[in-house]
Structures are given as structure tokens and as C-alpha cells.
Amino acid sequence: MSERKLAPLCHRILLLLPAVAVAAGCSLVELTKGGEGVRLAAPGEVAACTGLGRTTASVVHEVASIPRHPHAVQGNVNVTPRNSAARMGGDTIVPVAPLADGKQTFEVYRCMRR
């Protein structure tokens, strides 16, 4: 391949690398101090809790048409609702439906007495 053809290809690769690195496993949303106190629970664990509403989280689930590992996506998607639940006064989140295309909705509950 000639140097003229190689240079634009190298530039494209160099521009794409940071995006791939970030989306591959790094969380762009940090877990807040309040979010650290919010737990993920199953529906049967919140029968005695007070429902506060819903929150939806969405993250990049594929980069350059390459799917990210499902565990990395789920881990990233769990951060936003935990932070949101803390802002709503909640301490527990429960998934409403399975993760789909990097998006998931959660019910927010207050289970602990304050």
C-alpha cells in the first residue's frame, strides 16, 4: 500500500481508538456517594418498600458495529439509576425489563427507614 493511501487510514484508526477504549469498558458516569448506598434488588425483595417512581438508563452497547461485552454494558447501565435513585430519596432499584440495546428501566424504592 502506498504512503498516500496509508496516511488517511492511520488517521482514521487513531481517531477511532479513543472512542473504542472508552466504550469498551470505561464508565462515563461515575457512581456518586449517594449512589453507593443504593442496591439492586429482585422484585420479591421490595414488597414492604415504598415505590418512588422509575428511571431509565442508556449506554453505548456497540462500537463501530462491534457489540460490547454484556457484563460491561450491564455494569455501566446500573450506575445511572443508582445515582438517580439516591437523588429521588431511594435506596433500592429493581429492573422493570431486561437490558436491551444498552437501555434498561428500573423502579426506584425506599426500603430503609430514615
> Per CATH, is 3-110 categorized as 1.25.40?
no
pTM above 0.85, yes or no: no
Q: How confident is the model at residue 70 (pLDDT cuts 50, 70, 90)?
A: low
* CA–CA distances in Å: residue 25 to residues 3, 21, 36, 38, 97: 33, 7, 19, 22, 23
Mean pLDDT for the chain? 78
- State the cell numbers at 91: 435506596
Predicted pLDDT of residue 90: 97
Predicted pLDDT of residue 79: 87
DSSP string, 40-72: E--GGGGTTSEEEEEEEEE---EETTEEPPHHH
Q: How many residues does the chain have?
A: 114
| Residue-range domain boundaries for the chain | 3-110
Lookup result for grid cell 445515582: 83
pLDDT, tens only, 23-69: 444 556 789 999 999 999 999 999 999 999 999 987 765 566 666 65
Q: Which residue has the higher pLDDT, 96 or 12?
A: 96
* CA–CA distances in Å: residue 59 to residues 4, 5, 6, 51, 66: 37, 35, 33, 25, 14
